[in-house]
Amino acid sequence: MSLERLNQYRIMWVMVFFDLPTNTKKERKQAGLFRKRLLQDGFSMFQYSIYMRHCPSRENSEVHIKRVKSFLPPDGHVVIMQITDKQFGMIDVFYSQQKEEKPEMHQQLSLF
């Protein structure tokens, strides 16, 4: 594997932030389906309404962003953000004022 493929500025993280209505049974079902589809696409829950996914390249992150856009719920607020691995490495995570370890970075293999 070349060093360019492992560059901290090439590796991307896609984060999906959302606030979906859950007042009716139909809205709760749509919100649950949206979460389920994020998990099926390899996203992990970072916080309750924040899911993230590691991508080996910007091109790969664009594929997953396009996929998320294809199953957006009809109502609610969804934000999709991508950041570099270098930027992600600068995140400080706290739980009850105690600093936590950063989420585990999954090693993703690319097969050709």
7-36 confidence digits (pLDDT tens): 777 899 999 999 999 999 999 999 999 999
Query: Residues 45-103: pLDDT tens digits?
Result: 999 999 999 999 999 999 999 999 999 999 999 999 999 999 998 988 888 877 777 66
Dist CA 46 CA 37 (whole Å):
15
Spell out a b/e string for 63-89, using b for 16 or more CB atoms within 10 Å of the CB, else e: ebbeebeeeebeebeeebebbbbeebe
Query: Does the model's pTM come out above 0.85?
Result: no
Dist CA 64 CA 85 (whole Å):
16
Q: What single-letter DSSP state applies at residue 107? A: P
Name all domains of the chain by residue range, CATH numbers in brackets: 3-100 (3.30.70.240)
